[in-house]
Amino acid sequence: MAFPVTGILDDFNRANSTTTIGSNWTALESGATKDRGISSNQAYNPDGVPNYSWLYYNVAQFGPDSECYCTIATWTTNADNHTLMVRLKDVTQDAYTFDAYMLQAGISGTDAIKIYRIDNNVNTQLGATVNPMMANGDKIGIRVVGSTITGWLEQGSGWTEQLSRTDSTYAAAGYFGFYTSDDSTWRVDDFGGGTITAPPLFLRPPMHLLAR
């Protein structure tokens, strides 16, 4: 199945802000130091070090089979990463009990992409790290179908699957989320995704309708 098969949910095209990226996003941690913002129609962190934040798209839950993706217009310059979450659940603010599957991508040191299972805010990496070279403008994506979680990268010539992992712990639909690194230089754009519906099986017409 090609990636993605779903559309943009938030292009961040709205007025600049230093306190919010919009009402469709909720932080998993409260407090003014967890500010997020909009700059030139892209999401960013106006507060920088040491203020990071976990956000989820509160409009709907997706799945259980689902995908989400975004454009990393500018990578974080800290020793930190960008992440995407699917099947995110238990999102009570400040409880640190959320579970999810997560794609993590970063260019600090050796460029790396990893897939994690999150249990109670504890990240457990699934399988090995992969190391594609990444640059500003790349797009990252995560898809979960059944117990298969895949990580995707688009660098100007089409999406390619970078890694595939198997885990059946969290099988229900959930929210989408992403993590905002603690520096003010990164920019994220065009957050997309949705529920993946399996294509219908080819149904053979009833025998009496088949051409003789």
Partner 1 sequence: MPVAWFLAPYKRRAGTISPDRYCAMDDYTASAAWTETEVLGNRAVVKVRASEVTLAAINADPDFVRLPKDALDDPLSDLSSGQKAALRNLLLDMGYTLQEIQARFGADLGDYTLRDVLRFMASRRLKPRHDRVNDTIVLDGEAQSCRDVDHVDREVV
Binding site for partner 1 (CB under 8 A): 52, 79-80, 96, 114, 116, 119-125, 127-129, 166-169, 179, 182
- Cβ-based neighbour number of residue 41 at 10 Å: 15
CB of 164 to partner 1, least distance (A): 9
- Residue 90, Cα to own-chain centre: how many angstroms? 17
- Please give the Cα distance from 71 to 43 (Å, whole number): 10
Return the number of the residue (13 or 123) whose C-beta is nearest partner 1. 123
CB of 80 to partner 1, least distance (A): 7
Determine contact, residues 67/176, Cβ cutoff 8 Å: no
Q: DSSP string covering 52-79, please?
A: -EEEEEEEEEE-SSEEEEEEEEE---SS
Return the number of the residue (6 or 56) whose C-beta is nearest partner 1. 56
Return the number of the residue (9 or 85) whose C-beta is nearest partner 1. 85
- Please give the Cα distance from 192 to 130 (Å, whole number): 23
- Taking the alpha carbons at both ends of the chain, their separation in whole angstroms is 35
CB of 1 to partner 1, least distance (A): 20
Nearest C-alpha neighbor of 120 from the set 77, 158, 146, 89: 89
CB of 83 to partner 1, least distance (A): 9
Return the number of the residue (6 or 104) whose C-beta is nearest partner 1. 104
Return the number of the residue (30 or 169) whose C-beta is nearest partner 1. 169
Biggest CA pair distance of the chain: 73
CB of 55 to partner 1, least distance (A): 14
